[in-house]
Amino acid sequence: MERISIFGLGYVGTVCAACFASMGHDVVGVDRKADKVDVLASGTSPIIEADIDDLVAEGVRSGRLRATTSATDAVLHSHVSLICVGTPSAADGTQSLDALRAVCSEIGTVLSEKKSPHLVIVRSTVLPGTVREVVIPALEAASGKSAGAGFDVAVNPEFMREGSAVEDFNNPGRIVVGSDRDEVAESVFRLYDGLPGERLKTDIIIAEMTKFVENSWHALKVAFGNEVGTICKSIGIDSHRLMDIFVADRRLNISAAYLRPGFAFGGSCLPKDVRAISRLADKRGIDVPILQNLMRSNLAQIERGVSWILAQGRRRLSFLGLSFKPGTDDLRESPYLEVVERLLGKGYDIRIFDPNIELSQLIGANREFLLDRIPHIAQLMVPTLGDAVEHAETVVLTNGDKAYSEVASLLKPDQQVLDFGRGKFPGLDRQSYDGFSW
Ligand SMILES: NC(=O)c1ccc[n+]([C@@H]2O[C@H](COP(=O)([O-])OP(=O)(O)OC[C@H]3O[C@@H](n4cnc5c(N)ncnc54)[C@H](O)[C@@H]3O)[C@@H](O)[C@H]2O)c1
């Protein structure tokens, strides 16, 4: 069992302190506010939370949980310090790091006189880069020691929800640890021995970002559901019944599908139906900013794609794939068509290879859409992958079709590859290869 000090006896710190003590660890809670410390030291929880009172009472009674206002007492009597201080919004919406800086400075001051190794774990929610730019410098300045030499630092984001925090602590969806060294991550995981949940070890900066992405995702889900409900209610549809049907699909709706960063959406369905539902809301005078801005968000992604190519300063390009996804010749609202059209307008010298697109075979709305956008498309299409690669200073991978799998073997060293797909293209391990949004 470990000796742990926990800085900040708010919602996160108190729950962690009580739960770690209940697992058998020796825990000392630290807070600047003497009243919180006194309450905890007397065996009472300073926060209201399901199941916490008994855990705190039992922890204090057993001697495994105590509290102090003294950082010196806490750090000298522990091997691990968890930072759980608040990171509230400042007046301008940025994250206030005052408490974080102060606590790092206090811990660092004690570390200067501590002989044995110490591990500092950031459990507060901090923006990516904060550990590198704020936490480590503050600890180093106050301790006179170096991270990795005199002490170690890890990030272990907290995912509990208020109201069910103890339950969430004891049943984590997974435990995430960001650190520079495997041994450090392992020692954080050991604190949770006995608890379920996958252990995920990652970089510090990814661990820092995780919580923001999750909270934004949860907020997006709530707001999306509310917008759907508002539209439904206005036309007499039972939104709960509708969402029961929506969530019943675990393949595309409630799943990892569509969440891998890459290029813009397109095709004959998503843009058209997103436009239609947002016009429906407009007509009824309903303000649903998420739905009404989806096309704007997608357009911004297309703009970034064009800028990405322009920034390379290479004007001879070959696009491998023009349709919005592999295995189709449907070009309607393909974002790649938009990119090609914009670049042609800027005088770029472009070739396109897409075996799914036989100009002579295209018919109906699809053909009209293509010829309307790029009337001289026939002059840009080349018959083989080799022809496309031969032409290019930069090869642009789009929909990741298997038809391009030989590309790596055809490339010359000075050719650059830009990939709009959603994952590393097999065989492309070269310096001049870059992914869009990844
Ligand atoms: N509340 C949640 O459900 C939740 C969930 C996950 C993550 N988080 C994150 O965890 C962090 C803590 O959140 P919280 O809700 O527990 O905050 P909180 O405001 O309830 O508690 C923070 C505590 O830190 C204490 N503190 C401030 N400076 C200190 C210092 N130098 N030394 C010792 N104690 C000090 C404060 O007195 C306070 O008691 C935040 O970054 C938050 O975003 C919160």
- Please, what's the b/e burial string for 148-158 (b: 16 or more CB within 10 A of its CB; e: otherwise)? eebbbbbbbbb
Catalytic residues: 269
85 lines ligand 1 (CB under 6 A): yes
Distance 403 CA to ligand 1 centre (A): 53
- The pLDDT value recorded for residue 370 is 84
Distance 13 CA to ligand 1 centre (A): 7
Domain that holds residue 154: 3-202
Residue 62 within any structural domain of the chain: yes
In the sheet with 65-68, reading across from the earlier edge strand, the strands are 65-68, 26-30, 3-7, 80-83, 118-122, 151-155, 174-178, 198-202
Residue 34 within any structural domain of the chain: yes
- Asked if residue 244 and residue 136 are part of one domain, the reply reads no
Residue 269 within any structural domain of the chain: no
36 lines ligand 1 (CB under 6 A): yes
Q: What CA–CA distance (Å, rounded) separates 68 from 32?
A: 9
Number of domains in the chain: 3
- The pLDDT value recorded for residue 61 is 97
Residue 155 within any structural domain of the chain: yes
266 lines ligand 1 (CB under 6 A): no
Of 181, 202, 223, which residue sits at a domain end? 202
Ligand 1 atom closest to residue 13's alpha carbon, by position in its atom list: 16
* φ, ψ dihedrals at 296, nearest 5°: -65, -40
Residue nearest to atom 35 of ligand 1 (CA): 8
- Asked if residue 87 and residue 175 are part of one domain, the reply reads yes
- Asked if residue 122 and residue 30 are part of one domain, the reply reads yes
Place of tokens 């999750």: 214
Ligand 1 atom closest to residue 30's alpha carbon, by position in its atom list: 33
Pairing of strands 316-320, 394-397: parallel
Supply the Cα-derived Rg of the chain in whole angstroms.
28
Distance 196 CA to ligand 1 centre (A): 25
Instruction: Name the token pair of 209.
Output: 């970002």
- Asked if residue 123 and residue 191 are part of one domain, the reply reads yes
192 lines ligand 1 (CB under 6 A): no
Residue 255 within any structural domain of the chain: yes
9 lines ligand 1 (CB under 6 A): yes
Of 154, 186, 202, which residue sits at a domain end? 202
296 lines ligand 1 (CB under 6 A): no
- Asked if residue 197 and residue 250 are part of one domain, the reply reads no
Place of tokens 């391990």: 429
The torsion defined by the Cα of 421, 423, 428 and 430, in degrees rounded to 10, comes to 100
Residue 421 within any structural domain of the chain: yes
Distance 247 CA to ligand 1 centre (A): 34
Alpha helices in 235-288 (DSSP H): 239-247, 270-283
Ligand 1 atom closest to residue 36's alpha carbon, by position in its atom list: 39
**With the C-alpha atoms ordered 168, 169, 172, 177, is the resulting torsion angle positive or negative?**
positive
Pairing of strands 3-7, 416-419: unpaired
Q: Smallest Cα–Cα separation from 55: which of 17, 28, 27? A: 17
Residue 276 within any structural domain of the chain: no
**With the C-alpha atoms ordered 229, 232, 238, 241, is the resulting torsion angle positive or negative?**
negative
Distance 365 CA to ligand 1 centre (A): 58
Instruction: Name the token pair of 168.
Output: 């969430």
Distance 11 CA to ligand 1 centre (A): 7
Q: Please choose from 7, 14, 31, 218 the residue to mutate so as to test ligand 1's pocket, defined by most ligand atoms within 8 A of CB.
A: 31
- H or E element, residue 299: helix 289-312
- Asked if residue 116 and residue 86 are part of one domain, the reply reads yes
Distance 252 CA to ligand 1 centre (A): 37
- Asked if residue 22 and residue 165 are part of one domain, the reply reads yes
- Asked if residue 62 and residue 163 are part of one domain, the reply reads yes
Q: What CATH number should be reported for the domain holding residue 378?
A: 3.40.50.720
Walk along the chain (438 residues) and give the pLDDT tens digit of each residue.
Answer: 999 999 999 999 999 999 999 999 999 999 999 999 999 999 999 999 999 999 999 999 999 999 999 999 999 999 999 999 999 999 999 999 999 999 999 999 999 999 999 999 999 999 999 999 999 999 999 999 999 999 999 999 999 999 999 999 999 999 999 999 999 999 999 999 999 999 999 999 999 999 999 999 999 999 999 999 999 999 999 999 999 999 999 999 999 999 999 999 998 899 999 999 999 999 999 999 999 999 999 999 999 999 999 999 999 999 999 988 888 888 888 999 999 999 999 999 999 999 988 877 878 877 888 888 888 888 999 999 999 999 999 999 999 999 999 999 999 999 999 999 988 898 898 889 999 999
Largest CA distance in the chain: 83
99 lines ligand 1 (CB under 6 A): yes
- Asked if residue 185 and residue 227 are part of one domain, the reply reads no
Of 167, 202, 237, which residue sits at a domain end? 202
Ligand 1 atom closest to residue 71's alpha carbon, by position in its atom list: 32
- Asked if residue 352 and residue 330 are part of one domain, the reply reads yes
30 lines ligand 1 (CB under 6 A): yes
- The pLDDT value recorded for residue 391 is 98
Q: What CA–CA distance (Å, rounded) separates 213 from 200?
A: 16
- The pLDDT value recorded for residue 214 is 96
Residue 42 within any structural domain of the chain: yes
The residues facing 263 across adjacent strands are none
- Asked if residue 184 and residue 74 are part of one domain, the reply reads yes
- The pLDDT value recorded for residue 248 is 98
- The pLDDT value recorded for residue 268 is 84
- Asked if residue 106 and residue 31 are part of one domain, the reply reads yes
Q: Please choose from 36, 84, 134 the residue to mutate so as to test ligand 1's pocket, defined by most ligand atoms within 8 A of CB.
A: 84
- Rounded to 5°, the CA angle 230-235-240 comes to 55
Q: What CA–CA distance (Å, rounded) separates 239 from 230?
A: 8
